[in-house]
Structure 1
Amino acid sequence: MKKLLFGILILVFASTLSIAQMRVGLVGGGQLASLPYKTPYYTFDGPNTLAFHAGLTADIAVSRHWSIRPQLLYSGKGGQYTLNGNPEIGPVVERSHKINYLEVPVQLAYSLKAGPGRALVGAGPYIGYALSGKDNIILDGQGSPTDIEFGSETNQTRRIDYGLRVSTGYDLTSGLGLSFFYARGLANIENSRSYISKNKVYGVSMHFLFGRR
């Protein structure tokens, strides 16, 4: 299943390379990720986790102002929160999740000429497949990370993540560009309906597209 999904994602991205008026390039950047944990009684959330993303990007011109922008990324996500921060009622318990995804966002972008380049906004869906992850439970300052188990059992984490992503940015005619984005997961990566964890990410990307539009 893992190899099959990898093949499908790569095939979808590669198939866009045959479309005319298209530029391809490299993209990378940093992001602040969070993974709120909701139970029937409480919602646990905490500071954002610093992560990064890197991979391939493309700009497929549909018209003068509209384009489709798919990407194939290695993307880090996760979050951290305190389960009990009051030592008077029990030991202090903290937890952090770090999950690495193979991710494919596809956005419809609208751009306008502005100065030496083009300003743009975009929105669209993304889908991700978890490659690996670490779970770290810290009890009174002591703890060690363990590998996250992926699967369909109650105590395991779902591999598939999907959601929506919006962005704004600026592209120079040289192909260099900068963008800011927000991605909101719609998939619950917990297997139990009583517990909900959905990814949230704020990020900044730099990219370079080969060729001129």
Structure 2
Amino acid sequence: MKIYISVFFFFLISVFHISAQNRWGIIGGANLSTSSAKDFGWRTGGYIGGLYDIRLSESWYIQPQLLYSYEENSTKDNSHIDIFYSQHALTLPVLASFKVPLSDAFSLRINVGPYIQYALFGRNGRSSIDMNGEVIPKKLGWWHADFGDHFTYGLKGGLALEHRHLFLSMDCKYSLKKSFLNYDGHGTTLSVGIGYKF
């Protein structure tokens, strides 16, 4: 019986020691997004969310994140027709993170991993040309899609500069799935953010 109690207490001490090295965090910032579809330019947006930093060793971490983001895509094609899509989305990246110490107070993180994204809602619109060749301005409406078309997935990578609990991050996200929200192209999003780990 004493052996079982000793093993149980050793297990509890180990669990509390490991969880004490893990950290919750918050992050927010701005992003630029575009589509691989023809003639699409970069548009601004933003994001906010949380993360959980799971320490595996002195240098390796796993970092799941849950982010709420706003992204836009817009273009003018050769017919001068303006096309616009926007989306409010939830993104779940799970990143492998490698920590490089720079000094006692600073470190660099190299992050890479897959993500899945669910588009909650958004707007779309398209200008048209009347019979006289005049451009009729676009009217924005709410887009509608089948449940499966709300999902995209891809890869995310980036760097983060940490100073104790505070960090700055630069990331790139690329969708491997073509989506109607990217005008049947692949989406690319560059982001810069600031965060804090508790």
TM range (shorter): 0.7 to 0.9
Q: In structure 2, list runs of 5 or more residues that go unmatched.
A: 1-17, 129-134
Tell me the percent identity: 24
Q: Which residue of 2 aligns with 1:12?
A: none
C-alpha deviation, 1:19, in angstroms: 4.8
2: CA distance, partners of 1:137 / 1:159: 20
Answer 1 or 2: which has greater helix percent: 2
2: CA distance, partners of 1:189 / 1:166: 20
Q: Is the 8 A contact 2:34 2:73 kept in 1?
A: yes
Q: TM-score, normalised on structure 2? A: 0.81
One-letter identity of the residue aligned with 1:208: Y
2: CA distance, partners of 1:111 / 1:65: 5
Q: Which residue of 1 aligns with 2:151?
A: 160
2: CA distance, partners of 1:168 / 1:108: 12
C-alpha deviation, 1:137, in angstroms: 1.1
Secondary structure of the corresponding residue to residue 122 of structure 2: strand
Q: Is the 8 A contact 2:82 2:138 kept in 1?
A: no
Deviating 4+ runs (over 6 angstroms): none
Q: Which residue of 1 aligns with 2:120?
A: 131
Q: Is the 8 A contact 1:77 1:199 kept in 2?
A: no
RMSD of the alignment, in Å?
2.0
Asked which structure has the greater CA Rg, the reply is 2
C-alpha deviation, 1:83, in angstroms: 2.4
Q: Is the 8 A contact 1:60 1:69 kept in 2?
A: yes
Q: Is the 8 A contact 1:102 1:130 kept in 2?
A: yes
2: CA distance, partners of 1:165 / 1:141: 38
Report how many residues are paired: 173
One-letter identity of the residue aligned with 2:166: L
Q: Which residue of 2 aligns with 1:25?
A: 25
Aligned counterpart for 1:84 among listed residues 78, 86, 93: 78
